[in-house]
A and B are shown apart, each in its own frame.
Chain A
Amino acid sequence: MYQYSEFDRSFVNQRVAHYRDQTQRYLDGKLSDDEFLQLRLRNGLYIQRLAPMLRVAVPYGTLSSKQLRALAAISRDYDRGYGHLSTRQNMQFNWPALEDVPDILQALADVDMHAIQTSGSCIRNVTTDQFAGAAADETIDPRPFCELLRQWSTSHPEFEWLPRKFKIAVTGAAQDRAAIGVHDIGMRIHGNDDHPEDALIDVYAGGGLGRTPVLGALIREKLPAKDLLTYTEALMRVYNRYGRRDNKYKARIKILVRAMTPEGFKAQVDAEWEQIKDSPSTVPATELRRLRDFFRPPAFGQQADANTMLADQRLTHRDFDRWVKHNVTPHRADGYAVVTLSTKSIGVPPGDVSSDQIDAVANWADQYSFSEIRISHEQNFVLPHVPKVALFELWQQATDIGLGSFNMGLLSDMICCPGGDYCSLANAKSLPVAEAIQRRFADYDFQFDLGEIDLNISGCMNACGHHHVGHIGILGVDKKGQEFYQISLGGHAGHSGEAPKLGQIVGPSVARAEVCDVIEKILHVYLARRFDEESFLSCFDRIGIDPFKESVYASAA
């Protein structure tokens, strides 16, 4: 993991001091609501429907056990005993008091964490593959590049006041688990960990969800690693200068790229880059190797052959067998596995975790996973390096505390934004819909039979629940003050190495009470029409949307 230098530490502490002063001036009436809004947003603080919400940055989703314990303590001391894992790999607290936030930020700084640029129209936390450094299909660890971008984008003098929020995602694996196609900038790195300075980066720009979902366009192939920051600077300058500021719904970079055309945008960026190509932000090989060294694999010991034992355990414990099948991912090191601890159990909002659960995960990380934890954009915890011999023991403990659901990738492992229950932007509630679906399809045998299905729910077109890239997407809409839900099918965020795809809308939106029935009809069309092992997504691609449309609206007519 990256370790803060004294420089990092004093930077974050100085930032807390500045924010403490801003908060005090606001409380003293010296800053208006509008002025303070912009300052607090850039320190992670929203004022939501019920209370403030503080979004803590978890850079590229990687945490140490010590940091996770600090988050558990914050959830106890300043919140109501729980936290929320976001779809951007961060952790959110829903009930902090505004005047406590400087102290919370100090508590974060004490464990080398912050909430800098987790909201506001600036460069947000860089996200990546939650299995980085562990996945068997990875060619190069993206995290050194993410850390490079994190540092460069922190309080950048020129790019803190952009037309709109700006999200960067990076991957270095065959399967794109970071959804780079639906980010403002997506980066795919080619190369290997031995020579990060020789890495080449494909840069995509202008992807995004929200009210106008667009897939990013490839604007630079094989960018040398040393040019990562100067090229990004050129790109950001073009966006900062020419991105629309008159209408916040047209201010994302995707609108600019579309208006200029990807070729036109690329030409502008290239022209700007020509001028700054070898400027002092050119990254020396020593810096890339230095950052790489922080993410060296831990000392994986020789593990006893666990395969026989594991086979026995799976035979005798059906639920454990299911958990291994769904929640355990192959690791690149012999004798190890990647474990996903699902936060999705019935009656719990997806991504919500109690203080005790957070502490338990920190303890398991110490015991089983070299003290390291990841947060996935599917809102689950990941223990990246677990010896296979310890899987059974870990599963038993996880089950005892409600983190042992064996539903990763299944229907009930849904992505869901906080929706109208918390968020002041939402048009409709999302959590009750998620819960109703979980209850309706609680039968795991049915879910196993369905196989892999990503069901994503957003409470408004800002698309925090990534509904466009759900195999089944649900979007909350407001119709004359009533909550309605629009269903889309066939989207995915970059499945099995394919380019991501946006879902197609089935038809007119439906009332909340009808959502579960509609989902059931859709699932039955799939079950009736699929060939053997054909997945939902493949079946949809083959038969198209019409059979689903007919089933959903035939009986309603």
Chain B
Amino acid sequence: MPQLLRNIDQNWRIVDDGDIHWRAEEDWQAGEPLQVGVDSEPDSTWLEASAIAVDFPALTDGRGLSLAVLLRTRLHYTGDLVARGNVHEDIVHFLARSGFNVIELPQGKDLQTALTWVDPHSGYYQPSVANPQTVFASKN
């Protein structure tokens, strides 16, 4: 059973959604869940996926963050966007702010710790996918 955090109405929760059989781009068809690599170029056909997962090869690889931003803001993808692979409890806030609404932690990682640090600050210095409003008035 995957270890999942899901953003439900702006609240992150530990959920039990069951396994998803992710398909790589080469054997994926519209209507199926699609898993892409962090080096993929976003493609408008992806909008027909039932869900999109981005596979993080390492906790230090930030390409998946830019990819999520592009999916949300350039393709205007509104479905489930799942971060999986080498995802770490202490980087979940970057994932959450870049547009992922589901985070799958690898086995051995602690969901409760991830939930504690999914939003470590009461405010941020930049607009983000999660909170696109300008920040200039709120931080002064």
Q: A residues within 8 Å of B by Cβ? A: 5, 7-8, 10-11, 14-15, 17-18, 21-22, 25, 30, 35, 38-39, 121, 151-152, 154-162, 237, 240-241, 245, 275-276, 279-284, 286-287, 290
From B9-17, B44-52, B126-134, give the one contacting chain A. B126-134
B94–A157 CB distance below 8 A: yes
Given contacts A158-B62, A161-B91, A275-B74, contact A5 B134 (CB under 8 A): no
The interface residues of chain A lying within 8 Å CB-to-CB of B97 are 157
Closest to B122 in A: A10
Q: Which of B39, B62, B93, B140 has the most CB of A within 10 A?
A: B62
* Chain A interface mostly: helix
Besides A35-B88, A156-B125, A240-B66, 9 more A-B contacts (Cβ < 8 Å) are A7-B139, A152-B126, A155-B124, A158-B94, A240-B62, A240-B65, A241-B39, A245-B63, A284-B136
B123–A11 CB distance below 8 A: yes
Q: How far is the CA of A151 from the CA of B139 in the complex (A)?
A: 10
Per a CB cutoff under 8 Å, which of A151, A157, A279 touches B65? Answer: A157
Given contacts A7-B138, A279-B127, contact A14 B90 (CB under 8 A): no
Per a CB cutoff under 8 Å, which of A5, A39, A160 touches B94? Answer: A160
The interface residues of chain A lying within 8 Å CB-to-CB of B39 are 241
The interface residues of chain A lying within 8 Å CB-to-CB of B22 are none
Given contacts A7-B139, A151-B139, A158-B69, contact A35 B63 (CB under 8 A): no
B59–A35 CB distance below 8 A: yes
The interface residues of chain B lying within 8 Å CB-to-CB of A15 are 120-121
The interface residues of chain B lying within 8 Å CB-to-CB of A154 are 125
Query: Which 10 pairs, one residue from A and one from B, show the smallest C-beta to C-beta distance?
Result: A161-B62, A157-B97, A280-B134, A7-B139, A280-B127, A287-B136, A151-B125, A158-B65, A157-B128, A18-B120
Q: How far is the CA of A156 from the CA of B65 in the complex (A)?
A: 11
What sequence of 0s and 1s flags, for each residue 52-77 of chain B, a beta carbon within 8 Å of any chain A beta carbon? 00000001111101110100011000
Query: Quick one: which of B96-136 are within 8 Å of A by CB?
Result: 97-98, 110, 113, 116-117, 120-130, 132-136
Q: How far is the CA of A398 from the CA of B55 in the complex (A)?
A: 58
Closest to A160 in B: B94
B60–A14 CB distance below 8 A: no
The interface residues of chain A lying within 8 Å CB-to-CB of B61 are 161, 245
Q: How far is the CA of A438 from the CA of B136 in the complex (A)?
A: 49
Q: How far is the CA of A300 from the CA of B39 in the complex (A)?
A: 55
A22–B90 CB distance below 8 A: yes
Minimum C-beta distance from A328 to chain B (A): 37
The interface residues of chain B lying within 8 Å CB-to-CB of A162 are 62
The interface residues of chain A lying within 8 Å CB-to-CB of B73 are 276
The interface residues of chain A lying within 8 Å CB-to-CB of B63 are 240-241, 245
The interface residues of chain B lying within 8 Å CB-to-CB of A279 are 127
Minimum C-beta distance from A115 to chain B (A): 16
B60–A38 CB distance below 8 A: yes
A18–B94 CB distance below 8 A: no
Q: B residues within 8 Å of A by Cβ? A: 39, 59-63, 65-67, 69, 73-74, 88, 90-91, 93-94, 97-98, 110, 113, 116-117, 120-130, 132-136, 138-140
Minimum C-beta distance from B103 to chain A (A): 14
B88–A7 CB distance below 8 A: no
B139–A5 CB distance below 8 A: yes
Can you give 9 A-B contacts (C-beta < 8 A)?
A14-B121, A30-B110, A152-B126, A157-B97, A157-B98, A161-B91, A161-B94, A240-B65, A281-B127
Closest to A38 in B: B60
A25–B123 CB distance below 8 A: no
The interface residues of chain B lying within 8 Å CB-to-CB of A290 are 140
Q: How far is the CA of A214 from the CA of B138 in the complex (A)?
A: 40
Closest to A7 in B: B139
The interface residues of chain B lying within 8 Å CB-to-CB of A275 are 74
B122–A14 CB distance below 8 A: yes
Q: How far is the CA of A161 from the CA of B73 in the complex (A)?
A: 20
Q: Which of B60, B116, B133, B140 has the most CB of A within 10 A?
A: B60
The interface residues of chain B lying within 8 Å CB-to-CB of A151 are 125, 139
B62–A160 CB distance below 8 A: yes
Per a CB cutoff under 8 Å, which of A10, A21, A156 touches B126? Answer: A156
Minimum C-beta distance from B136 to chain A (A): 5
Q: How far is the CA of A500 from the CA of B85 in the complex (A)?
A: 44
A280–B133 CB distance below 8 A: yes
Minimum C-beta distance from B57 to chain A (A): 9
Q: How far is the CA of A479 from the CA of B139 in the complex (A)?
A: 53
Given contacts A7-B138, A7-B140, A14-B120, contact A39 B90 (CB under 8 A): yes
The interface residues of chain A lying within 8 Å CB-to-CB of B91 are 160-161
The interface residues of chain A lying within 8 Å CB-to-CB of B74 are 275
The interface residues of chain A lying within 8 Å CB-to-CB of B60 are 38, 121, 161
The interface residues of chain B lying within 8 Å CB-to-CB of A8 are 139
The interface residues of chain A lying within 8 Å CB-to-CB of B67 are 241
Minimum C-beta distance from B68 to chain A (A): 8
Minimum C-beta distance from B58 to chain A (A): 9
